[in-house]
Structure 1
């Protein structure tokens, strides 16, 4: 099984060396490391070149974009350049457990049906070394559990930097890709509707979360922002439904996606133009489509907020 790492960089000099060191010292080395830099204006590229030369890392390939293409296209480019049977997604500023590759590859060998395996993680919050406990990722028992499509599970439950992905899923991403969604969002959901998404309940990276990152604590939510958020979820559901039909997936999956798309569309419309009473009636009927009680409650609060 050939192993690749797909990594992207942009002005990441502050924490880059810690990440590179954690990749180089893995107990099982990757066969290739593809690094795509998106026109950094700090010394990121110099650090990468010096590190690669210092340790004679001939299997590490640095690609420098001629113009800035943005993080979505940049990570897709890194994925496209890989050749491995399994590809590990990598951010520029995390720290990997030294056995991350070895342990996750072992699970792919044990269970060939897995196409996306996402590990648990510990957070390095806002650049500080404070470990922040997150309820759904603090398990560390090493269990591997399937994550199937449910009414409320369209949200991505792990950051992309925890993913290891089979080549077949990357091919599917390229076939159906639309770049208005993040690569991690599409990969997660494609694996979920195919029944090939699994969680590895072991903390294998220190994930550095910044104020600007998607996983950072959310800003106070107003009604307009909520409409955009739910509309995005609706677009993803419609996208997945289209893929499910074209790939002739199980009729139960197609039916679930049809219902999900319908519910999200109705929820978006009420949030946009409806009343508090309408959202309450909607929730009484479709409460199972909310991922958490807090999420349900926040739909009510945006109507009460002045």
Structure 2
């Protein structure tokens, strides 16, 4: 049985294109469950009209009693779904027609896979293709870092997931077994898709398909993994940099690994090393000294992942240029 779950919130602009791309799949899902998180626009009505016009008796739609946030909404959706293979969907992308067919075939031929992450192609608000150049050792429109050259199908170790996820959740599918493990452990401390991949990696079943399965729409509300800060001036970047937010996010990742260790198994040495690197980065953001910068630079993760621009930025923080720019801005 194949299931699709869709979380929506104020998505009236693109929701019909998303739904149509699912309806256009060569291999159709057995059930589609949609939950709207108390939208204030016309999202709910558009979904109901789409289901009615296309006579989709195996599609269900309801509006949440209260706003759960996207993590809570997906958590609830996973508790409702029945499929052996479960596809996660956002409200504003466009699936390629062979997405379900291709990914289900891989699951059926590789029974050990628990989470399968597809690659993405980027589109803009008008569904026009966006071409970007992947950075060094970067794949999947700069979402995924790998020193090792990727094949078509690649196993993802937990150590790769400590620092960043593989792909947006809207390009992934999971098995029923992984869903059950997730529901027993998830506490919304980290995005649901990332946590699903972490559990799968602990069990040796997290994989990345190095082929596009969706057109991922980039707009002001969802540009995860893409930043225009590099193209802006130093002053603008300094003003936009939020140390407290960075500390909060990195600490969230550190805590997630600790929880996984308690709930499932002890993590490997490489994963622990990556976790320790994050702790060192948190220490650097809390106290941006040259001593803490040197400690951070010793880690292999820093040496491999941090581009020249990032190293210059860390030096800016250590030199307290950010504080100086803030004072000058106040005096201006």
The TM-score with structure 1 as length reference comes to 0.88
Q: CA deviation at 1:182?
A: 1.3
Report the CA distance between 1:154 and its aligned residue.
Answer: 2.8
Residue 151 of structure 1: CA displacement? 6.4
Q: Is the 8 A contact 1:36 1:78 kept in 2?
A: yes
- Structure 1 distance, partners of 2:286, 2:126, is 37
Give structure 1 regions of 4+ aligned residues with deviation exceeding 6 angstroms. none
Task: State the match for 1:283 in structure 2.
Answer: 296
After superposition, the C-alpha distances for 1:77-111 in whole angstroms (9 at most, x for unaligned) are 12221111111010111111111000000000111
Residue equivalent to 2:122:
123
Structure 2, unaligned runs of 5 or more: 143-149, 230-236, 326-332
What do the CA deviations read for 1:219-259 (whole angstroms, capped 9, x no partner)?
A: 5366972453244223323322332344235xxx3433433
Higher mean alpha-carbon deviation, 211-220 vs 82-91, is at: 211-220
Corresponding position of 1:228:
245
Inter-partner Cα distance in structure 2 for 1:151 and 1:21:
34
Tell me: CA distance 1:149–1:142, structure 2 relative to 1, closer, same or farther (3 Å).
Answer: closer
What residue in structure 2 maps to residue 263 of structure 1? 277
Alignment correspondent of 2:63? 64
Aligned to 2:140: 137
Is 1:201 aligned with 2:210?
A: yes
Distance 1:286 1:149, change over 3 A: same
Whole-angstrom CA distance in 2 between matches of 1:61 and 1:217: 36
Name the CA distance, whole Å, in 1 between partners of 2:311 and 2:204.
Answer: 27
Name the residue aligned to 1:217: 227
Query: Does 2:201 align with 1:184?
Result: no
**C-alpha contact (below 8 Å) 1:121/1:206 kept by paired residues:** yes
Q: Which segment is superposed worse, 59-68 or 105-114? A: 59-68
Question: 2: distance between equivalents of 1:25 and 1:278?
Answer: 56
Number of residues of Structure 1 aligned to a counterpart in Structure 2: 300
Instruction: Supply the distance in 2 between the matched residues of 1:55 and 1:171 (Cα, whole angstroms).
Output: 32
DSSP-derived class of the 2:97 partner: coil
1:146 alignment partner in structure 2: 155
Whether 1:40 and 2:50 are equivalent positions in the alignment is no
Distance (Å, rounded) in 2 between the aligned partners of 1:300 and 1:115: 41
Q: Hey, what's the Cα distance between the residues in 2 that align with 1:225 and 1:192?
A: 30
The verdict on how the C-alpha distance between 1:132 and 1:42 changes in structure 2, with shifts beyond 3 A counting, is: same
2-structure distance, mates of 1:182, 1:82? 19
Counterpart position of 2:233 = none
- 1:166-192 CA-to-partner distances (Å, cap 9, x unmatched) read 122222221111213211121122222
Please give the per-residue CA displacement for 1:112-157, whole angstroms capped at 9, x wherever unaligned.
1111111111111355524233521269x98111111336853112
Comparing 265-274 with 165-174, greater Cα deviation is found at 265-274
Q: Give the whole-Å Cα distance in 1 for the aligned partners of 2:303 and 2:287.
A: 20
Aligned-partner SS, 1:63: strand
Aligned residues of 2:5 and 2:34 also touching (Cα < 8 A): yes
Q: Residues 148 and 258 (structure 1 numbering): CA distance in 2 closer, same or farther, change over 3 Å?
A: closer
Match of 2:2 in 1: 3
Matches within 5 A, 1:87-106: 87-106=86-105
Compared with structure 1, are the counterparts of its residues 152 and 31 closer, same or farther at alpha carbon in structure 2 (3 Å cutoff)? Answer: closer
Question: Structure 1 stretches of 5 or more lacking a match?
Answer: none
Change beyond 3 A, Cα 1:227–1:267 = farther
Deviation per CA, 1:190-213, whole angstroms, max 9, x where unpaired? 222332111111111110122232
